[in-house]
Amino acid sequence: MTLNLAIAFGGYFLVMALVSGKRTRAAGLSGWRGALQSVYFRLLALLVVGAFAVWRLAPTFVAMLFRVARERPAWSSTMPAGEFYWWLFFNYYPAFTCCYLLGTVLLIRRYGRRGVFIACAFLPLMFLHVVAFTGRVEERYVSYLLPYFLIGACYLVEVMLRPFARHVAAEWRGGSRVIALSTALALAPVPFVFAHSWLRETKNLLQWGYGPDWKTVVPTLEELTEKSVVMSPWALHVAYYSGDFPDYILRHVQPEDGAGESPYGQLGARKVPVRWLFDAGEFERIVAQEDVSVIATDWAFNNDAYIDADMRAAIERHLVLTKHPGDPKVLIYRKAR
C-alpha cells in the first residue's frame, strides 16, 4: 500500500509539474524551465530519491515486492489480468464504469488539483495492475482503488441529477408540491441502474454465505483430533473449532511468508508443534502406520496450491470420504472401518 500510494503521488506531482510548465509558457517564459522550477517537480524528485534510497538500503525487500507482484500463485485466478478486471468492472459496476471517464474530466474541471489527485489515485495504479502487477489477480487486490473510482463516476451522476433536484426544489417552493413529489418518486428507480449488480451479489451472500459453516462439524472435529492423526490444509479452522492443531498441515506450495519453516504454532497461550506435509509418498508412509483423518474444504481439496493431484489420488486411494451431519462443504476422509 505504501508503494502504491507513492505511485499515486508521483503521478500527481508529475501532472501538476507539467501543468505549471504550461502556465509558465502561457506567460511567455520557458515551459520546461517552469515545470522544473515548480514545487511539484521538487516533490517528485524527493519521491524518486526516497525510492532509490529504499532500493539501495533494502534491495532484497524491493526484489521480493516485485517478485510477489509478478509471480502468480497456484490459487489465483487463471484469467489474464486485463480480461479479469474488464469483467470485474463491467460485471459489478457497469453503470459506474461507463460514467467514470467523463465524470473524472468534469471533476478535474470543477475541483482542479483535487480532481487531478482523484484521477491519479486510480488510473495509473489500475493500469499497473493490468500490465505489471499480474501476479495477484483478484478483486481484493484492487479494492483500495474503488473509492477513487466511485468518486469520479459518482460526480457525473451528481451532474446528471442536479437539474432534476433543482426542479423539484423550485416546484416545492412554488407551491406545486404534488408535482415536486411526483418528480421525486419518478426518480426513485434511478439508483437501481447503478446498484442492481450489487443487489444481486448481496442476495447471493445472504443465501449462501462465505465458505463452509465449520460450527456444524465441531463435535466431529473434537472426536477426530482426540482419536486419530489429523491432517488438514486449514490449520487455523481446525484449531479454532476443535481446540487443537492438526498433526500435519497439508500443502503443495510452500507458504510465501516462510511460515512453512516455523516449528511452532500459537494456540492461545501455548505453542504447539507444527508439521508440514508436502509429499504424497510421505503421506502414504504415515497412513500405513497410523489412523489418519484428512479434513479439508471442498475448495481447498481441489486446489493444487493446497493439495495437488498426487496427494489427492493418495488420499482417495487409502481413505474413504465419510458422511457427517455438518456442512457438506467440509470434507472428511478416514480409513475404511
In whole angstroms, what is the distance from residue 153 CA to residue 97 CA? 7
Given a contact cutoff of 8 angstroms between Cβ atoms, the answer to whether 326 and 216 are in contact is yes
**Judgement on whether residues 206 and 218 belong to the same structural domain of the protein:** no
Q: What is the rounded average pLDDT for all residues in the chain?
A: 81
Section 153-166 average pLDDT: 86
Same domain, 197 and 239: no
| Domain identity same for 122 and 169 | yes
Query: Is the same domain home to 138 and 58?
Result: no
Phi and psi at residue 171, to the nearest 5°:
-65, -40
Q: Looking at the structure, tell me whether residues 87 and 198 fall in a common domain.
A: yes
Domain match, 51 and 78 both: no
Q: Which of 186, 210, 234 is the last residue of a domain?
A: 210
Question: Which range of residues forms the domain containing residue 229?
Answer: 214-334
pLDDT tens by residue, 37-48: 778 888 888 988
Q: How many residues does the chain have?
A: 337
Q: Could you tell me if 183 and 247 lie in one domain?
A: no
Domain finish residue from 187, 210, 233? 210
pLDDT tens sequence across 248-304:
888 766 554 444 444 445 545 556 667 888 888 999 999 999 899 999 988 888 888
Domain identity same for 206 and 79: yes
Res 138: pLDDT? 79
Nearest to 124 by CA among 140, 141, 145: 145
Residues 327 and 227 in one domain: yes
What is the number of domains present in the chain?
3
Same-domain pairing of 127 and 187: yes
pLDDT confidence of 243, banded at 50, 70, 90?
A: confident
Asked whether residue 218 falls in the same domain as residue 170, the answer is no
Tell which of 210, 241, 262 closes a domain: 210
For 136, the enclosing helix (H) or strand (E) is: none
pTM above 0.85, yes or no: no
